[in-house]
């Protein structure tokens, strides 16, 4: 299953349309709303984690882009600098996908990049900045 986080910017003319509903129904995509700022007569912003077959997500994103929604991809991946990491475990408590977890009984912090959705929460809490956001080549922007 393919899983990525996207920022959607809705023009105020589109906020009253069931775009996400149609995205789910037409393209068989699961979603998790991470943030939403949608108000009548204003541009809207939504941060979504989309899951499904990669081709379905690509087709769904094309569909909503054609409706005038601006789509920005979050970073494609998170990287850990093992030289900086001193195994404090702070990141394991905030990781929503358990891509960062403790190996017991050694109490070693392990990172499984395959489970990572690049939400960036670990980057914000890491006291030594061992977790890094990788540049997304598709949008040429850094996720924050």
pLDDT at 121: 85
For residues 119 and 34, the answer to whether their CB atoms sit within 8 Å is yes
Q: Both tokens of residue 72?
A: 């920005």
Q: Report the mean per-residue pLDDT for the chain.
A: 86
Q: Both tokens of residue 44?
A: 């809207």
For residues 123 and 137, the answer to whether their CB atoms sit within 8 Å is no
pLDDT < 50: residue spans in the chain: 137-144
Q: Which of 128, 19, 7 is nearest to 70 (CA)?
A: 7
pLDDT at 14: 87
CA distance 63 to 55: 12
Domains of the chain: 2-73 (3.30.70.260), 78-133 (3.30.70.20)
pLDDT at 38: 84
CA distance 33 to 60: 16
Q: pTM, whole model, 2 decimals?
A: 0.56
Q: How far is CA 130 from the centre of its chain?
A: 19
Helix (H, G, I), strand (E, B) or coil at 25: helix
Q: Cα angle at 142 between 136 and 144, to 5 degrees?
A: 130
The string of pLDDT tens digits covering residues 3-45 is 888 889 999 888 888 999 998 999 999 998 888 888 888 888 8
């Amino acid at each position: 299953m393919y899983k990525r986080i996207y920022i959607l910017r809705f023009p105020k003319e589109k906020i009253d349309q069931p775009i996400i509903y149609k995205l789910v129904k037409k393209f068989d995509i699961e979603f998790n709303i991470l943030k939403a700022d949608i108000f009548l007569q204003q541009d809207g912003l939504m941060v979504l984690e989309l899951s499904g077959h990669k081709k379905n997500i690509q087709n769904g994103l094309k569909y909503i882009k054609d409706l005038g929604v601006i789509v920005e991809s979050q970073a494609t991946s998170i990287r850990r600098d093992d030289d900086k990491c001193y195994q404090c475990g702070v990141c394991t408590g905030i990781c929503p996908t358990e891509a960062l977890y403790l190996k017991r009984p050694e109490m070693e912090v392990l990172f499984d990049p395959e489970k990572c959705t690049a939400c960036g929460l670990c980057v914000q809490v890491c006291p030594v900045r061992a977790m890094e956001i990788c540049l997304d080549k598709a949008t040429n922007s850094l996720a924050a």
